[in-house]
């Protein structure tokens, strides 16, 4: 992932030292000891899901920058992680002279991961769908995901965590479609709904 970031950032700035520092900041955030799911592995998974779609995405670098910054701030019990992450993305991307419209689109993409609702922007839909592919993973992988998310909320007792988690899961089940693009819908929709129902039964 380091090479992917350095390559994307270098296209907008010749300041190699600055770009390396930006990568170190990203790496430190996703390797924080309190993270179990929102880690570098998550970035790798989302990247792997998006890579086959590169030709269908109108601005690949915006997708990449959104990927690296969308969870750079992650404090499980807060409601403003997306806006804080978007603000950091704005500041860092300005420092490497990314055009303003691209920064704005990156911020929109990061904010879209808050509710994962459908967008008029196909790139945003591809990105938010890829971010949710864990929901449609194999049952063992999904169970590990559930355990990792619970660890990230370890400071919350069950009587607080479980109702909150149920609300999140019900939010997805009540969507007309969890995945907004045909590509991801065909691959993951049915399995994601089965996994979510399975988790609800265990809470």
Domain containing residue 22:
1-121
Q: What is the mean pLDDT of residues 132-151?
A: 98
CA distance 203 to 163: 8
Helix axes 81-95, 100-112, angle to 10 degrees: 160
Kindly report, residue by residue over 157-172, the tens digit of the pLDDT: 999 999 999 999 999 9
Residue 14 has pLDDT above 80, yes or no: no
pLDDT for residue 158: 97
pTM recorded for the entire structure:
0.95
Whether residue 114 is found in the same domain as residue 139: no
- Choose the final residue of a domain: 121, 143, 165: 121
In a domain, 127, yes or no: no
From 121, 143, 171, give the residue that closes a domain.
Answer: 121
pLDDT confidence tier of residue 13, bands split at 50, 70 and 90: low
Q: What is the C-alpha to C-alpha distance for residues 19 and 39, in angstroms, rounded to an integer?
A: 20
Q: Is the pLDDT of residue 12 over 90?
A: no
Q: Is residue 146 part of a domain?
A: yes
- Indicate the residue among 94, 121, 148 that finishes a domain: 121
37 shares its domain with 85: yes
Inter-helix orientation angle 2-10/60-69, to 10°: 130
Q: Please check whether residues 138 and 51 belong to one and the same domain.
A: no
- Count of domains forming the chain: 2
Whether residue 110 is found in the same domain as residue 61: yes
Q: What is the pLDDT at residue 164?
A: 96
- Per the prediction, the chain carries an average pLDDT of 96
Q: Which pLDDT score is estimated for 11?
A: 78
Question: What's the pLDDT at 15?
Answer: 83
pLDDT average, residue stretch 68-78: 96
138 and 169 in a common domain? yes
Give the list of residues 6+ apart from residue 125 with CB closer than 8 angstroms, or none: 118, 119, 180, 181
Q: Give pLDDT tens digits for 179-190.
A: 999 999 999 999
pLDDT tens, position by position, 33-50? 999 999 999 999 999 999
Which tens digit of pLDDT belongs to each residue from 104-131? Answer: 999 999 999 999 999 999 999 999 999 9
DSSP 8-state assignment for residue 98: -
Q: Are residues 117 and 141 in the same domain?
A: no
Residues 112 and 155 in one domain: no
């Amino acid at each position: 992932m380091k090479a992917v970031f350095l390559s994307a950032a270098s296209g907008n700035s010749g300041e190699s030292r600055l770009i390396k520092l930006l990568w170190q900041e990203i790496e430190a955030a996703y390797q924080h000891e309190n993270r179990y799911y929102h880690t570098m592995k998550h970035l790798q998974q989302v990247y792997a899901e998006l890579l086959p779609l590169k030709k269908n995405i109108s601005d690949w670098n915006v997708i990449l920058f959104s990927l690296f910054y969308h969870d750079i701030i992650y404090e499980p019990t807060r409601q403003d992680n997306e806006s804080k992450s978007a603000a950091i993305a704005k500041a860092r991307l300005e420092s490497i002279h990314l055009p303003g419209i691209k920064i704005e689109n990156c911020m929109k993409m990061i904010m879209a991961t808050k509710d994962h609702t459908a967008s008029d922007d196909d790139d945003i839909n591809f990105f938010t769908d890829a971010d949710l592919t864990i929901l449609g993973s194999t049952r063992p992988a999904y169970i590990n995901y559930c355990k990792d998310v619970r660890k990230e909320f370890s400071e919350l007792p069950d009587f607080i965590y479980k109702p909150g988690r149920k609300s999140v899961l019900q939010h997805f089940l009540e969507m007309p479609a969890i995945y907004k693009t045909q590509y991801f819908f065909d691959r993951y929709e049915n399995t994601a709904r089965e996994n979510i129902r399975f988790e609800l039964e265990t809470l």
